[in-house]
Amino acid sequence: MVQEMLDWKLKTRGQLPIGLDIGDNFIKMIQLAVSDGHISVLAAKKLRIDQSLADDAEQRSSAIVSVIQQALAEGGFRGKTAISSLPNDHVRITSLRLGENESEKLEQTLKNEAGQRFGMDPNKDSIRYMLAGDVPQGDEVKNELILFAVASESIKEHIQLLEDAGLQSVGIDAVPCALFRSYERSMQRQEDQQRAAVFVDVGSRFTTVVLGRGQEITFVKQIALGGRDFNREIAAKLGISADEAEMLRNKLRMERAMPNQANGSGRYRAEPIGQDDTAEPAGQDDTIEAAGQDDTIEAISQDDTGEAISQDDAGEPIDQNDTAESQTGRQPSVLDPGTRQVIVDAISSIAEKLANEISLCFRYYTVTFRGKRVELAVFSGGEAYEEILLNVLRRHLAVEIEVAQPMRGFDVTNLSLDSDRRSTLFEWAVAVGLSLKGRNGDGKARRISRTGDSSVHEVDSYEGN
């Protein structure tokens, strides 16, 4: 008992705020602790948001509040302080270049830019910027900046939602900054300082692209393409609903599944079905659970009745009748070849559009920073499990491609998890980056304006660290 108490104290020393990532389909909450440079996972929870409320902002907000409260009640989190990210479509981002004369009146210049480009009120709304580097242009060296702007009303509504859920907001961040932060700790070597890498988080509605060199962000872009577009493309080609298309995508992952007789588990594993349309291993349990504790990382969400819903690796529901855990014991049904090919073609079509957009980001970076080439692309997010997407990207992007390992190096020794799953959990990158923000203190983004409404808490937004 004494040793257990000592272990608990060691793990909770340097306790960080909860990192809260509110996505379109799920909320992900994680709390980390830092001690002597080592990072431990204290608690984590992933729960589904009711998609039937997507078109009703008020009901969706109420549902998010309920899900956060459920996570707090079940997840074993310590304290109520949290660092969260604003929705992608609430944050306007652009790059701009300023000469020396313009830089002397930087604040007014950026206010004007935010007003002209985004229709923001510079005296009311929140505007931040980040220095991306020096850019030679003719005989002059200009400053490349990344401008972030968000309406003050969006910030107030976001903080109110957190308060309604029982959380205390101590920081608000933009998704690109949180994403980069989750990786910059792995870019500490001397050879990494001049190595250009791109970090791409593929979500349901948006893909976030962040280019960085060493520990500096140099370019950011939000692309309005994601998993929802895969579903819509499949639905359009087959004349079905998007929900049905999503189910077919899940079924494709289970296709050609076979009983894993080797370990006698009764689970099924997916076999390769071609270079461009390989399915991820199916039937794996994505739950991380601490033995004897309530600290959990769960990729098994719950419905409103509290009953577990089985999920595939992308975190989406699988028809219970098609799982290896089916009480009937039958093997999953297989898609007919025609339907299967339509699904593969539809996903590939959207993936190629996304690859083209990412290529344009590479080109901008190379031209702006005079020939500096992107050497590595790291993919995260729920759609990073989509092997068809990754294969298209491998063909189109002439760089080394990796999938994210946002918890690599973390102390999870007391957490029950299959060893082959410790390197995945791609979708946790943003949440991890949000919790890590509490470790760094002051960041690199400079504040230009803050809403004067006293009801808005003093939070540091859009910081690079």
Q: Domains (ranges, CATH) in the chain?
A: 2-228+348-449 (3.30.420.380)
- 278-333 pLDDT, tens per residue? 333 333 334 333 333 333 333 323 333 333 333 343 444 333 333 433 444 455 56
pLDDT surpassing 90 at residue 227: yes
- 203-215 pLDDT, tens per residue? 999 999 999 887 8
The pLDDT assigned to 334 comes to 78
The pLDDT assigned to 254 comes to 75
The pLDDT assigned to 438 comes to 84
Q: Answer with the residue of higher pLDDT: 166 or 142.
A: 166
The pLDDT assigned to 104 comes to 67
pLDDT band at 98 (very low <50, low <70, confident <90, very high): confident
The stretch 26-33 carries a mean pLDDT of: 94
pLDDT surpassing 60 at residue 447: no
The pLDDT assigned to 187 comes to 64
> Within its chain, how far is the Cα of 70 from the centroid?
21
The pLDDT assigned to 415 comes to 55
Cβ(231)–Cβ(344) under 8 Å?
Answer: no
- 386-445 pLDDT, tens per residue? 989 999 999 999 888 989 889 888 887 645 444 444 446 889 999 999 999 987 653 334
The C-alpha torsion from 104 through 108 and 110 to 115, rounded to 10°, is -160
Q: Answer with the residue of higher pLDDT: 120 or 137.
A: 120
Reported pTM: 0.78
- 340-367 pLDDT, tens per residue? 999 999 999 999 999 999 999 999 988 8
